[in-house]
Amino acid sequence: MSILNILSEFMYILCGIVTLSVAICSLKNDQNKYTTFLFWLIISIMFIFSKLIPSYIIGGLIIVISILTLTKKVSVGQFSESSRKFRLEMSKKYKNLVFIPALLIGVGAFLLLQIKGVSTSLALGLSAIISLIVAIIIFKPNAKETIEDTNKMVMNVGPSSFLPQLLTGLGAVFTAANVGEITSKYAQVFINEKYIITAIIAYCLAMAIFTMIMGNAFAAFSVITTGIAAPFLLSKGLSPEIVGALGMTAGFCGTLMTPMAANFNVVPAAVLEMKSYTSILKTQVCVAIPLLISHIILMYIMTL
């Protein structure tokens, strides 16, 4: 194992340490103390020891955490809030300096990825650490407060932050079960292999429609990409990066048009005290449909 490999793996161990800190902190919870502890402890084990534990045990641990969330045994602890007065004072004092570490997270990752041999995990992890160091130098924050705030944020973002990972797991099961084949069988009806545009239309429309049904573009992506993009577009030599990038955002066009994506289209109506969420959907459809058509045209042009 090269030093770069070890460092890449170390980034995941750090993730495990963050969730271990959350686990310990949850022992101070008022409710669901031990089950919340267990939840974050398991997550932490899955990150730190993932290379040592056999996959089926990790799978078993996933079942355990899903039982914990299903029975609503994972709660958020009680935390003190930083005062608005303090934050306003600090924003007057530091002005735009606050944006420098914020920019470093993204720009740093982009630059690190240009170096040969640097893995994505290393680049993303390292840029976060570098910007943390810069922030510590600029603001000299209290360490205890920072740890507590981090625990609070992880708990608030909560179990759902692992959803993309679990949805990919679902996609992996779909692939193993050959669900993609069924999707391609249905797609074949609409696709004329002589004209690549028909496959592009089928892929973009299927992404949007599946997202509307499932309420989640991430969930739709692996099924539709495996079922339609792989046999009808990628195997014809189209750039996988272009197909993937545009396929995902074609799915987002679906997200704009469905009440199934409650977080984005229904909850905000309540947050903004609206009479009904339908007017949000109506507004968004006017942009989503032209955008979806643009996806088809752009994918065709970019892969010519």
Window 141-170: residues binding other proteins (CB under 8 A): 141, 145-147, 149-150, 152-154, 159-170
- Give the chain's end-to-end CA distance (angstroms, integer): 41
Q: Of 242, 209, 245, 239, which Cα lies nearest the Cα of 224? A: 209
The verdict on 115 binding other proteins (CB under 8 A) reads no
What are the CA-CA distances from residue 237 to residues 183, 190, 230, 295 (Å)?
Answer: 20, 20, 10, 19
The verdict on 236 binding other proteins (CB under 8 A) reads no
CA–CA separation, 125 and 299 (whole Å): 32
Single out the segment in contact with other proteins by CB under 8 A; choices: 28-36, 136-144, 191-199, 200-208: 136-144
The verdict on 1 binding other proteins (CB under 8 A) reads no
Q: Of 34, 30, 27, 19, which Cα lies nearest the Cα of 73? A: 34
The verdict on 27 binding other proteins (CB under 8 A) reads no
Tokens of 69: 């969330």
**Count of beta carbons in the 10 Å neighbourhood of residue 233:** 24
CA–CA separation, 62 and 56 (whole Å): 10
Q: Which is nearer to other proteins, 3 or 143 (CB)?
A: 143
- Candidates 35, 184, 216, 232; binder of other proteins (CB under 8 A) is 216
The verdict on 121 binding other proteins (CB under 8 A) reads yes
The verdict on 24 binding other proteins (CB under 8 A) reads no
Using CB under 8 A as the binding criterion, the count of chain residues that bind other proteins stands at: 146
Residues 69-88 that bind other proteins (CB under 8 A): 69-70, 72, 82, 84, 86-88
Q: Which is nearer to other proteins, 90 or 197 (CB)?
A: 90
Taking the complex as a whole, the smallest distance from the CB of residue 278 to other proteins amounts, in Å, to: 9
Single out the segment in contact with other proteins by CB under 8 A; choices: 24-32, 92-100, 195-203: 92-100
Q: Which is nearer to other proteins, 150 or 194 (CB)?
A: 150
209, 288 in Cβ contact below 8 A? no
75, 31 in Cβ contact below 8 A? yes
Q: Which is nearer to other proteins, 194 or 228 (CB)?
A: 228
Rounded to 10 degrees, the C-alpha dihedral 263/266/268/272 comes to -160
Q: Which is nearer to other proteins, 159 or 198 (CB)?
A: 159
- Candidates 63, 116, 117, 304; binder of other proteins (CB under 8 A) is 63
Taking the complex as a whole, the smallest distance from the CB of residue 199 to other proteins amounts, in Å, to: 16
Tokens of 249: 């955002």
Q: Of 208, 254, 257, 213, which Cα lies nearest the Cα of 228? A: 208
- Candidates 32, 35, 36, 131; binder of other proteins (CB under 8 A) is 131
The verdict on 192 binding other proteins (CB under 8 A) reads no
- Candidates 199, 201, 202, 256; binder of other proteins (CB under 8 A) is 256
The verdict on 176 binding other proteins (CB under 8 A) reads yes
Place of tokens 């069988």: 185
CA–CA separation, 230 and 4 (whole Å): 32
